[in-house]
Structure 1
Amino acid sequence: MAITAQMVKTLREKTGVGMMDCKKALAETGGDEEKAIKYLREKGLAKAAKKAGRSTSEGLIGNYIHSNGKIGVMVEIKCETDFVAKADQFQQLAKDVAMQIAATNPVCVSPEELPQELLEKEKAIYLQQAMEEGKPENIAQKIVEGRVNKYYKEVCLLEQPFIKDDKKSIKDILNETIAVLGENMQIGRFCRIDMNDAAPEESKDDE
């Protein structure tokens, strides 16, 4: 199948990835846009894994104030250089992550940061539910595992579906930006203030 300029342009608009990478992805997948998007995500994940150990001493504070003026967010987005911190794609990432936090109110950045006592409490609830449904213990444990993974998508920022495109997670958005800009990036601390709450909620540093 011939890869047209319009196909490349459309894929670039959907993913934010460079034109040559989009063209290659379409060529590798026979012009199938959905497969090309998956190809680019996997490529981005591989690039992110290679860069994961590199120091992130630069970055910026993303912020978002909801239209009603009653919910505000600040989030630390880290990268390797000041040059990348000034890039449009990086600044858009910071805005999107801040907006995500405002909308979804995550407990923490990643599953590794989730308080153990909170996780154990959820597991106990899921196990009791499965046993009450009459499931054998081995099946009940698998059900607990599945419900825990679903719980991560509710309370852990990186695992949450992106509010602008629920086919992607925040981790996908982060990895796509890493693939485009070529630097390691991390989401660090965040603070979400809701005037309806008694106090702001703050995560631990993601280091």
Structure 2
Amino acid sequence: MSISAAQVKELRELTGAGMMDCKAALAETNGDMEAAVDWLRKKGISKADKKAGRTAAEGLIGIDSGLREAVLVEVNSETDFVARNDAFQDIVRSVAKVALAFGGDAEKVAAANYPGSDKSVAETIKDAVGTIGENLHFRRSAKLSVGQGAVATYIHNAVADNLGKLGVLVAVETSGKAEAAHAIARQIAMHVAATNPLALTPEELDPAVVERERSIFAEQARQSGKPEAIIEKMVEGRLRKFYEEVVLLKQSFVLNPDVTVEKALKDAEKEIGAPAKLTAFLRFALGEGIEKEKSDFAAEVAAAVKK
């Protein structure tokens, strides 16, 4: 039977697949639209399996938030180009919405129903590989919430609302004015985006990191030839300086370097109208920790020519 352009157009709109794939699907299924959708879905799964080994280190960080709670998610793609794809952006927004409902637990989010679908988040993303044409991967999610106070969000290098390359959440607990607490929390979130602190307090730093720094400082100090008692004081002084560089509350506040973040929050209590405590922060930078494949562009072109 002959396949009309209208049928191909309808199938494209239903599935997002390419024109030639849609034409082939309709030909294989004798023009049965539902069967053609299934045929393309199967083909999409096949594509997903072929692409699953490729490194997905681009993509988007997404944010969703509610009353005194917010969540960060990272969904990866192979290229930055896909981050500007409306279909991919919708996926990231939907994953963030699910993550907010499931407390940011990545395993529960992946297994949960995708909004408006009877498929899971993981299945939906796998299906999208066939239509978008790249390996896609829901990598992680995390949530912050407070009983009273505010959780502020910040997206850096935004490509759309609540979508970008770097996302930050900051939680401030207080019984005072939530709006004022949100304002200072938002400023601190911008600070976190800029400085990438390792921990909220010195006590929360990885002990191995502290011991490594202590060892380096001690060796440097011993080269001065001073007594051990003096060396110990020198090491403690350098550790305090180290804390000022990597601990959020001890850092100089980016928006006012004359005060620390801790002091800036203390000063904000006048507007908040009650004591305020910075309880947690989260910072997701796109692709951090993913070992990206090194590509030989000339070899890729040569391979493409041979196909």
TM superposition score category, shorter chain reference = 0.5 to 0.7
Q: TM-score under structure 1 normalisation? A: 0.62
**Counterpart of 1:123?**
214
Query: How many matched pairs?
Result: 140
Q: Is the 8 A contact 2:151 2:182 kept in 1?
A: no
| TM-superposed deviation, 1:80 | 1.5
**Counterpart of 1:178?**
269
1:42-81 to 2 correspondences below 5 Å: 57-67=147-157, 69-81=164-176
Q: 2:178 aligns with which of 68, 80, 85?
A: 85
**Counterpart of 2:252?**
161
**Counterpart of 1:112?**
203
Q: Which amino acid aligns with 1:85?
A: A
Q: Secondary structure at the match of 2:222?
A: helix
Q: Secondary structure at the match of 2:288?
A: coil
**Counterpart of 1:42?**
none
Q: C-alpha offsets along residues 149-179 of structure 1, whole Å, 9 cap, x if unaligned?
A: 1111111100000111111100111100123
Q: Which amino acid aligns with 1:179?
A: K
Q: C-alpha offsets along residues 22-76 of structure 1, whole Å, 9 cap, x if unaligned?
A: xxxxxxxxxxxxxxxxxxxxxxxxxxxxxxxxxx830121111113631111121
Q: TM-score under structure 2 normalisation? A: 0.43
Q: Is the 8 A contact 1:57 1:80 kept in 2?
A: no
Q: Which runs of 5+ in 2 are unaligned?
A: 1-145, 159-163, 291-307
**Counterpart of 1:204?**
none
Q: Is the 8 A contact 2:151 2:185 kept in 1?
A: yes
| TM-superposed deviation, 1:114 | 1.9
Q: Determine the C-alpha separation between the residues in 2 that align with 1:130 and 1:77.
A: 39
Q: 2:231 aligns with which of 133, 140, 147?
A: 140
**Counterpart of 1:22?**
none
Q: Which amino acid aligns with 1:191?
A: L
Q: Is the 8 A contact 1:59 1:78 kept in 2?
A: yes
* Identity of matched residues, %: 35
Q: C-alpha offsets along residues 108-161 of structure 1, whole Å, 9 cap, x if unaligned?
A: 111122232321221111101111232321221111111111111111100000
Q: Which amino acid aligns with 1:62?
A: A
**Counterpart of 2:92?**
none
Greater Rg by CA: 2
Q: Which amino acid aligns with 2:259?
A: K
**Counterpart of 2:187?**
96
Higher relative contact order (CA 8 A, sep 6+): 1
**Counterpart of 1:10?**
none
Q: Determine the C-alpha separation between the residues in 1 that align with 2:249 and 2:155.
A: 21
Superposition RMSD in Å: 1.8
Q: Determine the C-alpha separation between the residues in 1 that align with 2:149 and 2:188.
A: 14
| TM-superposed deviation, 1:181 | 2.7
Moved more, 176-185 or 166-175: 176-185
Q: Which amino acid aligns with 2:170?
A: V
Q: Determine the C-alpha separation between the residues in 2 that align with 1:66 and 1:176.
A: 26
Q: Determine the C-alpha separation between the residues in 2 that align with 1:182 and 1:141.
A: 42
Moved more, 62-71 or 93-102: 62-71
Q: Which runs of 5+ in 1 are unaligned?
A: 1-55, 200-207
Q: Determine the C-alpha separation between the residues in 2 that align with 1:196 and 1:147.
A: 32
Q: Secondary structure at the match of 2:197?
A: coil
